[in-house]
Amino acid sequence: MRKLTIFSLAFLMLLGCEEGNDGGDGGNNGNGTYPTDGLRLTEQVRSLLLTNYGPGDQGSVGFEVFRLRNEASFGNDLNHMSLVVAQGHPLYSITADTIRANFLNLGIPSFVIDFEGISPANLEDAVEAEINKKPILSVAHAVSSNDTAWIVDNKVKFYKDTLSSGIFIQTYLLAKIKAQDYGAVNLNAPQVTNLTKIVDNATLWDLEIPNLDSSANAINKNDEYFHQWVILKGFEESTWGKQLGTYWPFGPDFYKNDVIGTKDTPIRHYFLKPKKGDYPYDFDPQFISVVWILNPFSGNWEYVNSYQSN
């Protein structure tokens, strides 16, 4: 039945192409291409590190050393979200709080991969274990911008036949925030002997740290300290996003080599750019798209794959 449906859809699409397309629909640049056309989807799992992070916590500074060392070595294979869950803090997010509650409600600071708390010394092994898993699917996105919004177009490819209505996709707006005193709020990181110092109302690193194989530095002395990958919000109202099947004519029925997020099956998420005064600090936007699956037995949300970009 599905083969017949695919043939019918392809025939209708062919008729549409013969009628012509001026490329005027949102996201189409007018030359016949769609934002996700050039995205390369690779059959691999990218590790997702969740950090229960305290911007003013001394222990979190130490954890950042380990995170930055691993991030410098693993590159795009290691994605990250910082969860600021202290209610009342300027960087607090209810979205982060909900994610934390799902993946071990551990204290600050702590590392979590899947449902396991990871010690800083074991972080490298945990990342390697996750990226060596066989993926169900992969995801990538393209980010564009206009006067009022950042636009994130997602693309997903399946590597296994999968039937599930519990697969969800969400894009999160993350922030890279310079640790400094903004007047209205003081977001300096704490001074920690031989780690950080505060100079001219801004936090700097006070040491030099190599990456895992010592081929380059992950941190240089006097580098600016940033609160990085901090979750601000997700595109969808639900923390976990929207069912992937709602973007797909076959609903929750996915076959090997299915690709969703093309011009004919768009997965578009957008974030309105903040107006002056919306946030009491400056930040650079960062984006991560995550595919989750709802475990019907445990009721927990489980990580599938992700893609992160500045």
Number of domains making up the chain: 1
Q: Is residue 24 part of a domain?
A: no
Q: Is residue 20 part of a domain?
A: no
Residues 201-232 pLDDT 10s: 999 999 999 999 999 999 999 999 999 999 99
Q: Is residue 162 part of a domain?
A: yes
Query: Given the DSSP bridges, would you call strands 116-118 and 110-113 parallel, antiparallel or unpaired?
Result: antiparallel
Percent of the chain with pLDDT over 90: 88
Q: Give the CATH number, domain containing residue 205.
A: 2.60.40.10
The number of CA neighbours under 13 Å toward the Cβ of 13 is: 10
Percent of the chain with pLDDT over 70: 90
Residues 281-308 pLDDT 10s: 999 999 999 999 999 999 999 999 999 9
Q: Which two tokens stand for residue 36?
A: 């996700």
Query: Given the DSSP bridges, would you call strands 196-199 and 167-178 parallel, antiparallel or unpaired?
Result: unpaired
What global pTM score does this model have? 0.90
Residue of 231, 211, 208, 206 lying closest to 220 (CA atoms): 208
**Residue 161's domain spans which residues?**
47-309
Residues 238-285 pLDDT 10s: 999 999 999 999 999 999 999 999 999 999 999 999 999 899 999 999
Q: Is residue 105 part of a domain?
A: yes
**Is pLDDT above 50 for 41?**
yes
CA separation for the pair 141, 37 (Å, rounded): 10
Sorted by sequence, the CB contacts under 8 Å of residue 224 that are 6+ apart come out as 178, 179, 202, 203, 204, 205
Q: Is residue 80 part of a domain?
A: yes
Query: What's the pLDDT score for residue 310?
Result: 75
